[in-house]
Each structure stands twice: as structure tokens, then as C-alpha cells.
Amino acid sequence: MYNDKVMDHFMNPRNVGEIQDADGAGQVGNPVCGDVMRITIRVEDGKIADIKFRTFGCGAAIATSSMVTELVKGLTLDEAMEVSNKAVAEALGGLPAQKMHCSNLAADALHKAIEDYRAKHPANSGA
Amino acid sequence: MTSDSENTAGVRRVYLDHSATTPVRAEVMGAMMPYFAGQFGNPSSIHRWGREARAAVEDARAKVASLIGAAPQEIIFTSGGTEADNLAIRGTAWHKRSKGNHLITSSVEHHAVLHTCETLEKEGFKVTYLPVDKYGMIDPEDVEKAITDETILITIMHGQNEVGTIEPVREIGQIARRHGVTFHVDAVQSAGKIPIDVSDMNIDLLTMSSHKMYGPKGVGALYVRKGVRLSPQATGGSHERGLRAGTENVPGIVGFGEACRLAKEEMPEESLRLTRLRDRLIGGILDSIPDTVLNGHPTIRLPHHVNISFKFIEGESILLNLDLMGIGASSGSACTSGSLEPSHVLLAMGLPHELAHGSVRMTLGKGNSEEDIDYVISVLPPIVSKLRDMSVFR
């Protein structure tokens, strides 16, 4: 059902956890649907210096969460805002069709975390 | 079954999805083999080839009937449980349309029943979907209260396929009989596992499936009590007393018959063995992993059936990890159902969505040993803690 890359990120997820006193936090999903993702970021010089995730969900939900953290670490906030759910799925080499909508929300969680950071830090939100 | 318990890489393999399907037993396959090429005749033919096939089908019919206390002529062979459910429900509704337009079922039936009832609603029939308690059990009093002058059919399952609860069909049968309403029971999960007597239970129509009891796929049966009339769904020749047209699946029927014979013979011992394994698995998990809940009734449940919800984590994630450890199970999570909603059964029992998504069904069978159960109990705790460490909810 899942390809090797998805299974690798599912079984060996990168950047699991929660950053203490994070600069930004974003949570998406809903327990009703079975997928909830939370991403926390630390921002330095307008770049994502650290990022961690926690996810309640299926294999695709966990793998996309792991992949998005790997994709955007070190990117500027503007660059990170450009990373879409679709790009995350592509970086994983594709997801089963039925997983594209319900479980592929990790980029949304990231964008929420960045927006949260920008709301709290209006002065240096430009990056 | 050594091939079942170990693969070439040395990883133990434990199949815990016997409510999905079972392997065909060697004795069953042996009984079927002559009927593919050697004795290949059409049972409707009058020559020797036809007579041989007819004799085999009728021998199988007697064995299937014997498992449920029926007469052989009350057994109608079908392509499986789904077709038998369709024939029972739509066949009754169409035949009795002039007598009434109301059906009673429950909210925890298999989709073969629920979706058939929904198609009848579109035709103008009224359907009552009875609620269940927290164990998934139907209250016979609710059945009686739902009966009206228009009620023509009550259809209630025997063993619940997702949570294993055994429904009070005997009590419901008495009520149906008292009110003169036809009573159908979907016994796909219970037949061959626990005793069924259609006379004692006042059952008019009963669905069985071969591949859930070590027979081949593609064959099942509907018990039709003598005198109960149905509108056929597949029309054509006069096979199966005109209720199910189409040349009989002779090898499949022979295999199903043999599976029923073996199930009846071995049931007393095997159901005790499975109950012991089941309770060892339930106890082992609930004792070793915190925040776990058994779904379904703790004691009034199928002997081979375990369903447990793991709080804070999702079912598919657990299944994928179990699969990598050689263990095959299933889940009521939306992710494994192909829809956005988790199991309708767990929701009807009042489980919150999170717990429904976190459910894992493990159904035992002939190939499972005590060592298999202990292996599952040993690999589950680290899987659960790893996923919980990752979860938003902890």
C-alpha cells in the first residue's frame, strides 16, 4: 500500500517531539477524521532553525509530518510557506489516492506554525 | 501449521484475521478436488456425470443443514454471505410487499444487510435501525416495541463481526414468532463457531458463508424454513428450488459441506481452546498496556474474537507495525475502511471517534497457538509506546 520511502518515514520518523518555548506552533486536523498534526518551530535569522512534530494518525499522516520537517529545516519562512501538501507527497514518492485528502495535511500545520510566529513577532516577520 | 507460524526469514507469522477469511483446510481441499475435472458434471444433467455431481451437492446440503439443525431441503446454496443476505432481505420484502412495508434491523449489521435495507428504503419501504448498548448488544424489548402492523421482516445478526458480541437472537426469535414476523439472522461470523439450532432459536432465514469456516470462497447458503416464501433475486433456471438460478458451484459446495461437517465435529473442543486463547490475549494486552479498552461484551462474545481500542493512537499505524512484525490484524479506523468515517459499529456503541480510530480487531483460528498469543503480547507494548510518544494526545 505504501512505498518504501513512506514506510521509512513512518517507521523512522525524523524530528519527533515538541520544541519547548517554541517560536511558533500550528495544529491541524480533527480527531473525528482520525488525523491530528502539531508542528512547533524555532526561528533564527528568519530561518527555521529547528522543527518538531507530533501526530495522531495513520501511516501517511506520520510520514508526511516527518517529511515536511525534513524538507523545511534551514529554509527561510517565505520558502517554507511555499512548500505545499502536494510537494510533501511528491517528496515521499507519492501516496495512495485515498490518503491525499484526509492524511496529507502536514504542510498546513507548518504554515499555521509560521503564521503563529509572524503574529507573535510582527517586527521581524518578513524574513 | 508450520507455514502459518514461521516464514523463511525466521520472523514469526501470526494470522489474526480469521473474521476476514480463513485458509481452506486440507481435508476440505481434498474433498473438492475430484469435482473440478474428473467429476465435472452439471448436477442438472440426467446422465452419469450429472448424477455424480447431483449426489455430491445433495450430500453437502445435508452436511450444511446438520450444522444448524435444519432439513437438507431448507438449504439454498448461494455465492456467499452477501448474496444470501440480499436474497433473504430483498426476497422477503418483495414477496411480502402487499402485506406491509416495514423492516426492523440494527445499527450494527454488516453492510450486506444495511446497504440492502437502504436500497429498499429507496423503493418505499420503511426501515427501523435499532440502537445498541455500549457492548454492541441489541435489546429484544426494543425489537418488540418497533413491531407494527406493517412489519414484514426482522433481520438481526448473530455474532457481531467487528466487536464479537453475540446478539440475543433466541429471544428475538420468540418475539418474531409471537408476532408472526419473518426472522432473518446473519450468522456468517457465528456458524461453525458456536451452536446454532434454527428450530430452537425460531429462525426463518439464516445466512452462512463458507470461507469464514475453512471452506472455499465464493460459496455460502441461505437457510429457508419450510413454508417461508421469497422472491428470487437471480432468475433463470429452476436451480435451488427456483430461489437461486444458476449452475451450482459443485466443488465449492462440496468443500463447504465438508467444512460444515468438520466444524460441527470439532466445535465443542475448538471453541473451548479458542476461548482460552482469546482470554489470554485480552488479559495480556489489558494488563500490560495502560489506556486500553476491550470493545464488545466481555463474556457474551464469539470464542475467537478480540477487539481492543488503544487510546491516543490510530489503528492503521498499529496494523502497519504489527504487519512488519509478522502479525496480520484489522482495524475499525477510517483509514482502513476506505472512508473518512471510522466503524459504524463502534460509533453506534457510543465510542468517541478517537477510540474508534484506535481500534484493532484480532480474530483467532485453528492455526493459532499459545506461543502465537504470547508473541503478540510481547511485541504490542513497544509498538504502542512508540506511537504514543509520537502522538499529539498524551
Task: Specify the 3-state DSSP secondary structure of A44.
Answer: strand
Contacts of B287 (CB under 8 A, 6+ apart): none
Walk me through the domains of chain B, giving residue ranges and CATH numbers.
Answer: 2-24+267-390 (3.90.1150.10)
Identify the residue among B320, B325, B354 best suited for mutation to test binding to A, counting A beta carbons within 10 A and taking the highest.
B320
Residues A36, B338: C-beta atoms closer than 8 Å:
no
pLDDT band at B114 (very low <50, low <70, confident <90, very high): very high
Mind listing the pLDDT tens digit for each residue in B58-76?
Answer: 999 999 999 999 999 999 9
If phi over 0 gives left and psi between -120 and 50 gives alpha, with beta otherwise, what is residue A27?
A: beta
The model's pLDDT over B298-317, given as tens digits with 9 standing for 90+, comes to 999 999 999 999 999 999 99
End-to-end alpha-carbon separation of chain A, Å? 40
The pTM assigned to this predicted structure is 0.94
Q: Cell 512534530, residue?
A: A53
Residue in the block written with cell 439443525 = B69
- Helices (H) and strands (E) in chain B — how many of each? 13, 13
Give B-chain residues touching A55 at CB under 8 angstroms: 390-392
Residue A99's pLDDT is 87
Residues of A in Cβ contact (< 8 Å) with B342? 34
Nearest to A36 among B320, B389, B392 (CB): B392
Instruction: State whether residue B391 sits within 8 Å of chain A by CB.
Output: yes
Residues of chain B positioned with their CB less than 8 A from the CB of A103? 335
DSSP string spanning B175-210? HHHHHT-EEEEE-TTTTTTS---TTTTT-SEEEEES
Q: What are the structural domains, with CATH classification, of chain A?
A: 4-120 (3.90.1010.10)
* pLDDT score recorded for residue B20: 95
Radius of gyration of chain B (CA): 22
Chain A: residue nearest B387 by CA? A56
Q: What is the ipTM of this complex?
A: 0.93
Strands, sheet with B330-331, edge to edge from the N-terminal-most edge strand? B292-294, B305-310, B359-363, B330-331
B1, pLDDT greater than 50? no
Are A116 and A24 a contacting pair, CB within 8 Å? yes
Mean pLDDT of B202-219: 98
Amino acid at B6: E
Average pLDDT, chain B: 95
Query: In angstroms, rounded to a whole number, what is the distance separating the alpha carbons of residues A96 and A94?
Result: 7
Identify whether the C-beta of residue B275 lies closer than 8 Å to the C-beta of residue B303.
Answer: yes
Q: What is the pLDDT of residues B124-173, one digit of tens each?
A: 999 999 999 999 999 999 999 999 999 999 999 999 999 999 999 999 99
The span from the CA of B257 to the CA of B240, in Å, is 16
Among B133, B143, B78, B68, smallest CA distance to B105 is for B143
Residue B21 three-state SS = coil
Instruction: Map residue B57 onto helix, strand or coil.
Output: helix
Residue B309's nearest CA partner among B263, B356, B276, B375 is B356
Nearest CB among B312, B324, B338 relative to A56 is that of B312
In the block, residue with C-alpha cell 440426467 = B46
Average pLDDT over residues B334-362: 85
Res B2 pLDDT > 60: no
SS3 B255: helix
Instruction: State how far the Cα of B244 lies from the Cα of B252, in Å rounded to an integer.
Output: 16
B46 CB within 8 Å of a chain A CB: no
Quick check: A24 contacting B, CB < 8 Å? Answer: no
Per-residue pLDDT of chain A (127 residues; tens, 9 = 90+): 899 999 999 999 999 999 999 999 999 998 888 899 999 999 999 999 999 999 999 999 999 999 999 999 999 999 999 999 999 999 999 999 888 877 789 999 999 999 999 999 987 655 4
DSSP B138: P
Helices (H), chain B: 2-5, 26-32, 48-67, 81-95, 111-122, 140-146, 169-179, 250-288, 315-324, 334-337, 344-348, 353-357, 370-390
Nearest to B390 among A33, A62, A103 (CB): A62
* CB-based contact B346:B359 (threshold 8 Å): yes
